[in-house]
Every structure is written in structure tokens, then in C-alpha cells.
């Protein structure tokens, strides 16, 4: 009923009375319904007297693994030989057959095993075991006038594997809360990837990735360990490739209604995610677990900009609120609200129909601090109007693409001719300087990798 396996009642060992090695395969079928079944093949390999199992012995550099053979009777072990031979000096064979790799030579070059294109250390090893009294200690039984029975010697083999794994897990960016990967709801940010260690040996990357996230306001964040989708209160927030660890930030438009509204110009939500890189080698065993914390942010696509001066409106709606946060929330919920103001701590006014001046009939002056509601407030959908001393560089620059680092957005001013077109981009990830640059034939953009290069003449720079 459960699928568990055990030795049949009355049998004291696998194989019963068989004295020689054998192998047998069985097909196990599990039935869930009449039409739904699943099957698996189970192979049992029994060696004579001594066995280290069917699978390779997996060793790790961070812990000392120990493997004991399965034996029949009393055996002692006195010989170990491996190929490649240098591993023979590193492995330790106990008198009872226990195999250890206590101090792997980290400076040794990989070799012996090749798995999916990644080198790792390993060897096929041969051990010798003897049963009863060792041959060199056999003495003549004077009473019986006979030598004792000959000592039985058995050779057993196993494969030892020591994967060369990463020492830590690092992402290209988003490693601090100030440097978090951030995007407006309804848009998609450039994918951030795990940094591959720059080492001569091709180290084995983690075999799987998973994670655990929390939000700055206590909302429920979940990561689906099958699809890799991360959600906030049930709405999509990001996607993670569970095989490579790459993270793609794509918060749903619906998240805007769940964001905590504060007195700032724009609501935002930040997640803190601990990403785990797992080394899993079924059925051999598990390796180390690496981890790294990254920060992901989503911002509202509606901004509230403080205004100065006198403003007049045709319509207003007044209500009593608990504070500035509720007043802003009420304006955001009302699709006709274009401005709002707060007088004192509890008097909230929502406005519609901006008047050109005080002389317009039926217009009333706004009270308190006035804020304008700006829709479509998104970096990747908004253009920038530049006014510069070099007038030919001035104009409207709109989002074109990006480089995969913080502040790596690229904007383009499209002129009537190519001579009136210019790029606006950050010079590099290490310099907080923006460059105005001519387009050229050598310009290159890989959208999927979020990588862009520029080869045209630099016309001007703008310090942030």
C-alpha cells in the first residue's frame, strides 16, 4: 500500500541462500486510479561478501563523508588502490573498510570524472578484504597436525567523486536595499543573473535554486518551487529560473492597489529574498547549500507631485480622514480625482476640473498643500525633456533600452535626420555621469541580455 521495500519475513539476508553475486531488476507499478498509473524500475545488485553499493561515493570539501561497506562476516581491509593514482594518497581506508577523504587537495587539478562538461576530481578504486585470520599470521595447529583453513580474499570496487563546487553565491546587482532592482508595476526589468566565479577550473554550478522572500510591510510573499513564480498577496511579482538562479522582475499592474501609500511622491514596495543555490546529486547524496540576499522593488505607476501657488477648481469633494495617507489613497481610488489637498491633519479635498484662473465663474480656490496626480508615471514608458545650453542637444528623450546595472536606462532623441538624433545614457556602472552621444553603425543592443554598447562621438556629459 505504501511502496516501501523490506526483506521478506523469514529471510535473513538479500539473496537468501545464494553464495555468488547477482543482479535483478524489478518493475514497480503504482496505481492512483483505474486510468492513472506510474512505474519505476528497481535494480538490486548484490556483490559477494563485500559491497560499497551501486552508486559512486560522493565526497565534499566542507564536511568529511564516511562510507562503510556492507559485509557478511568478519572482514579486515589492508589495501587501497585508485586510478588516477594521486587520489590513493588522499583517501583513507580503515581496517573495517571505512573510506574517508579527510583533506582533499584543493590545489590539485580536476580530473578523473567528467560530468556535463564540468571537471571534478574522482577515481575508480579497488580495495582488498580478507576474512578470518590473515595469511601471514597462520600457524600450524600442532594438535591436529593441520594448517587452519585458507584465508578468503575478496576484491571490491567503488567510484569516488569530489565535485569542485562554488565557494559562494553572488548576483550581478540588487545586493543592497539601496541598490535594489526596481521597476514600475506593469513593466519588466532586465534579468539579473548569478555571477559565475572567475577561476581556471570549470567549477560545478549549483544544480538547483530556490528562495524565501519577505516584504517590508509584512505582506505574504510566496515562491512556487515548481514554476519559479514569486507572488505578493497572490499577484505576480517576479520569476526565477530554478535551474540557473536568474531573476526577472515583472510586478503585476494589480499590485499598485496593494502598495502602502505614504506621504512620498510615489508608493513603492520592497521585497527581501534569500536565494539558495543547492547541490543535489541524487541518488548519490547532497552537497553544500549556498545563499545570497537580493532586494527587489516595485513602484506605483501613479505619482503625486507637490504644487506651489494658487489653484482653482470647478468641483471638489471634501471628507474627513485619519491623515495624509488616507487622503492620498482616496484620490488614487477615484478615477476622476486630478488633484488633492490636505488642510490640517484630517480635512481632505479631492478636486476635478482645473480652472485657468481665479476669474473663471464657479471656480473655488484649493485649500492647504496641493498635490497633482500624474498617471503613467513609469521610467520605461516616460520621456525626458532636456533643456541645455547647446540647443541642438535639447529635446525629448524617450526610453529605448537598458544596460543591466542600476541607472542603466538608455534614452533616445529621434531627430528629423540622423545628425539631430542622440543617445542619453549613463557612462558605466562605476560612474554616475550621463552622456549625450551620437548614434553610429557600431552601436549594439542585446535586449535579452540587457547589454548595450555605443561607438559614436560623445557630445556632452551631465553630472547626476
Check whether residue 154 and residue 31 sit in a common domain.
yes
Contact 284, 58 (CB under 8 A): yes
Which strands make up the sheet holding 431-437, listed edge to edge?
383-386, 395-402, 409-413, 422-428, 431-437, 458-463
Check whether residue 155 and residue 218 sit in a common domain.
no
The per-residue pLDDT for 53 is 81
pLDDT average, residue stretch 239-264? 86
Domain span including residue 427: 383-463
Lowest mean pLDDT among 26-35, 264-273, 372-381, 446-455: 446-455
Domain boundary among 238, 268, 299: 299
Any domain includes 17: no
223/276 Cα distance (integer angstroms)? 12
Any domain includes 12: no
Domain boundary among 258, 280, 299: 299
Any domain includes 126: yes
Any domain includes 169: no
Any domain includes 175: no
Check whether residue 255 and residue 343 sit in a common domain.
no
The per-residue pLDDT for 152 is 78
Lowest mean pLDDT among 85-94, 215-224, 367-376: 367-376
> C-alpha cell of 335?
478615477
What is this structure's pTM? 0.72
Any domain includes 441: yes
What's the number of domains the chain is made of? 4
Which comes out higher in pLDDT, residue 364 or 125? 125
What rounded mean pLDDT belongs to the chain?
84
Any domain includes 10: no
> C-alpha cell of 385?
525633456
Q: Is the peptide bond before 3 cis (omega within 30 degrees of 0)?
A: no
Any domain includes 11: no
Check whether residue 207 and residue 280 sit in a common domain.
yes
Work out the pLDDT band at 135, boundaries 50, 70, 90.
Answer: very low
Check whether residue 259 and residue 320 sit in a common domain.
no
162/382 Cα distance (integer angstroms)? 53
Mean pLDDT is highest, among 112-116, 186-190, 243-247, for 243-247
Percent of the chain with pLDDT over 70: 86
Residue 166, pLDDT above cutoff 80: yes
The per-residue pLDDT for 325 is 81
Check whether residue 30 and residue 153 sit in a common domain.
yes
Residue 263, pLDDT above cutoff 80: no
Check whether residue 56 and residue 132 sit in a common domain.
yes
Residue 147, pLDDT above cutoff 60: no
Check whether residue 186 and residue 288 sit in a common domain.
yes
Check whether residue 186 and residue 274 sit in a common domain.
yes
Check whether residue 223 and residue 314 sit in a common domain.
no
pLDDT average, residue stretch 85-112? 84
Check whether residue 284 and residue 368 sit in a common domain.
no
What b/e readout covers 79-111, taking b as 16+ CB neighbours within 10 angstroms? Answer: ebebeeeebeebbebeeebebbbeebeeeeebe
Domain boundary among 247, 270, 299: 299
The per-residue pLDDT for 350 is 92
> C-alpha cell of 282?
541524487
Check whether residue 26 and residue 156 sit in a common domain.
yes
Amino acid at each position: 500500500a505504501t511502496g516501501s521495500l523490506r526483506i521478506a519475513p523469514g529471510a535473513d539476508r538479500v539473496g537468501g541462500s545464494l553464495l555468488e553475486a547477482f543482479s535483478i531488476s524489478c518493475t514497480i507499478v503504482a496505481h492512483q486510479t483505474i486510468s492513472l498509473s506510474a512505474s519505476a524500475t528497481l535494480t538490486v545488485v548484490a556483490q559477494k561478501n563485500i559491497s560499497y553499493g551501486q552508486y559512486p561515493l560522493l565526497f565534499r570539501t566542507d564536511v568529511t563523508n564516511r562510507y562503510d561497506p556492507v559485509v557478511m562476516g568478519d572482514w579486515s581491509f589492508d589495501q587501497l588502490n585508485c586510478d588516477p593514482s594521486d587520489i590513493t594518497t588522499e583517501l583513507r581506508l580503515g581496517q573495517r573498510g571505512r573510506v574517508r577523504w579527510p583533506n582533499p587537495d584543493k590545489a590539485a587539478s580536476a580530473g578523473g570524472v567528467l560530468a556535463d562538461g564540468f571537471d571534478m576530481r574522482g577515481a575508480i578504486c579497488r580495495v582488498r578484504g580478507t576474512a578470518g585470520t590473515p595469511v601471514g599470521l597462520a600457524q600450524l595447529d600442532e594438535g591436529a597436525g593441520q594448517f587452519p583453513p585458507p584465508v578468503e580474499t575478496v576484491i571490491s570496487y567503488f567510484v569516488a567523486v569530489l565535485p569542485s563546487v562554488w565557494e559562494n553565491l553572488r548576483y550581478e546587482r540588487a545586493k543592497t536595499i539601496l541598490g535594489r532592482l526596481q521597476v514600475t508595476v506593469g513593466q519588466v526589468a532586465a534579468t539579473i543573473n548569478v555571477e559565475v566565479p572567475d577561476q581556471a577550473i570549470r567549477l560545478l554550478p549549483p544544480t538547483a535554486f530556490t528562495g524565501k522572500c519577505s516584504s517590508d510591510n509584512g505582506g505574504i510573499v510566496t515562491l512556487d518551487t515548481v514554476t519559479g513564480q514569486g507572488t505578493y498577496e497572490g499577484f505576480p511579482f517576479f520569476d526565477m529560473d530554478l535551474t540557473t538562479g536568474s531573476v526577472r522582475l515583472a510586478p503585476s499592474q494589480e499590485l499598485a492597489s496593494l502598495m502602502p501609500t505614504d506621504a512620498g511622491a510615489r508608493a513603492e514596495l520592497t521585497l527581501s529574498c534569500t536565494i539558495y543555490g543547492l547541490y543535489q546529486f541524487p541518488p548519490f547524496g547532497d552537497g553544500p547549500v549556498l545563499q545570497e540576499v537580493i532586494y527587489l522593488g516595485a513602484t506605483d505607476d501613479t505619482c503625486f507631485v507637490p504644487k506651489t501657488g494658487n489653484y482653482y477648481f470647478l468641483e471638489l469633494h471634501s471628507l474627513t480622514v485619519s491623515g495624509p495617507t488616507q487622503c492620498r489613497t482616496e484620490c488614487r481610488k477615484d478615477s476622476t480625482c486630478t488633484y488633492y489637498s490636505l488642510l490640517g491633519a484630517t480635512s481632505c479635498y479631492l478636486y476635478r476640473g482645473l480652472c485657468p484662473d481665479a476669474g473663471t465663474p464657479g471656480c473655488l480656490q484649493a485649500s492647504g498643500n496641493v498635490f497633482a496626480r500624474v498617471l503613467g508615471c513609469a521610467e520605461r514608458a516616460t520621456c525626458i525633456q532636456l533643456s541645455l545650453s547647446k540647443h541642438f542637444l535639447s529635446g525629448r528623450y524617450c526610453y529605448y533600452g537598458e544596460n543591466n546595472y542600476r541607472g542603466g536606462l538608455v534614452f533616445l532623441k529621434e531627430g528629423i535626420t540622423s545628425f539631430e538624433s542622440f543617445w542619453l545614457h549613463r557612462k558605466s556602472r562605476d560612474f554616475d555621469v550621463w552622456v549625450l552621444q551620437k548614434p553610429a553603425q557600431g552601436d549594439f543592443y542585446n535586449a535579452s541580455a540587457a547589454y548595450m554598447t555605443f561607438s559614436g562621438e560623445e557630445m556632452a556629459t551631465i553630472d547626476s
